[in-house]
Structure 1
Amino acid sequence: MFFVIERWESVALRPAQLGPEYLSSVEALLRQQVEGKCLQSVGYVVCVIRVLQNLPGRIQDSTGLVVVAAKYQAIVFKPFKEEVFVSRASLPPTYTFQEEDAMPSFSDGSLALRTGGEIRLKLLGVRFEASQIFAVATTNADYLGPIEPRDGTAA
């Protein structure tokens, strides 16, 4: 599921970044620091929407960097156990590999899983690590599986 969150993050600026472009430097470093990262407490940060507030910076004694606390809004993706969503990768156990097709696929005779195809699946478990999300899912339930027929027309 996707969420909009508000969160504080510290950003370290070099003295050269303290000029007229100070605010844009804070935003650029914040985006670089958090976008595309998987955070245990909030999930995968898709993008920073905007920076809401910057506290005055404080100089670090040992490095000379200016540390600024910035409050920002971001869109995050966090899957939950039992959540049903549309994905592009899964393999139902009843499907067999069809290598004779022009584009190899997995098929049960009436529906096929192809590269770029869409399926509906149910998450059974989710695990977060430093920079990745791992999930176990199934298509073995009612209304789950490929959502387009084998001939490629819309269902």
Structure 2
Amino acid sequence: GYTILVAKVVKVHPGRLDVVTGHAHFGVEYQAIVFKPYKNEVLPTEVSLVTEQGFWCQAGPLEIFVGIDGIPKDYIFNPTDKLYSSEDEDKLICKGSRCRIRILGMTVDADKFVGDNYSCKSYP
């Protein structure tokens, strides 16, 4: 997960010096606001890139890819405008649009979470 904000430092334990590096190490207890997405959680996102294979979106620091199998079947890709539109064209998925997604799986890279295997649905 991600630590968004350290709200309160509860206790700082006595430090110790590393004789090899000279670094000081302190144990710290704190209260924090964190972001950790869970399987089956529904998140509001903003679309950042649309391709024929699906689209990328952001939920805070989380980068999410929604593949073509996760997009509702009544949406059609428009390669000219780089967007997905519903058959009656009243709903669009394009760069900057907002979409709620349900997390189905996740990959953790060394420095970030990358969403994959997500499902995009119309949630009220």
Name the TM tier (shorter chain): 0.5 to 0.7
Q: Identify which of 14, 20, 23 aligns with 1:62.
A: 20
Taking structure 2 as the reference length, what is the TM-score of the superposition? 0.64
Q: Which amino acid aligns with 1:97?
A: N
Cα RMSD, aligned residues only: 2.3
Letter in 1 for 2:100: R
* 1:55 Cα deviation after fit: 0.9
Match of 2:84 among 92, 103, 106: 106
Q: How far off is 1:146 after superposition?
A: 7.8
Spell out, residue by residue over 1:28-76, the C-alpha distance to the aligned partner (whole angstroms, 9 max, x if none). Answer: xxxxxxxxxxxxxxx1222222322111111221122222111122222
Deviation string, structure 1 residues 94-146 (Cα, Å, up to 9, x no partner): 2312635xxx532121201122211111111123232111222112xxxx238
Q: Percent identity between the aligned chains?
A: 27
1:82·1:124 contact (CA, 8 Å) conserved in 2?
yes
Query: Taking structure 1 as reference, are residues 110 and 98 closer, same or farther at Cα in structure 2, changes over 3 Å only?
Result: farther
| Partner SS, residue 130 of structure 1 | coil
- The 5 A counterparts of 1:5-154 are 43-88=1-46, 89=57, 90=66, 92=71, 94-97=75-78, 99-100=80-81, 104-108=82-86, 109-135=89-115, 136-139=117-120, 144-145=121-122
Distance in 2 between residues matched to 1:95 and 1:120, nearest whole Å: 18
Structure 1 length as normaliser, TM-score? 0.53
Unpaired stretches in structure 2, ≥5 consecutive residues? 47-56, 58-65
Greater gyration radius: 1
Bigger fraction of residues in helix: 1
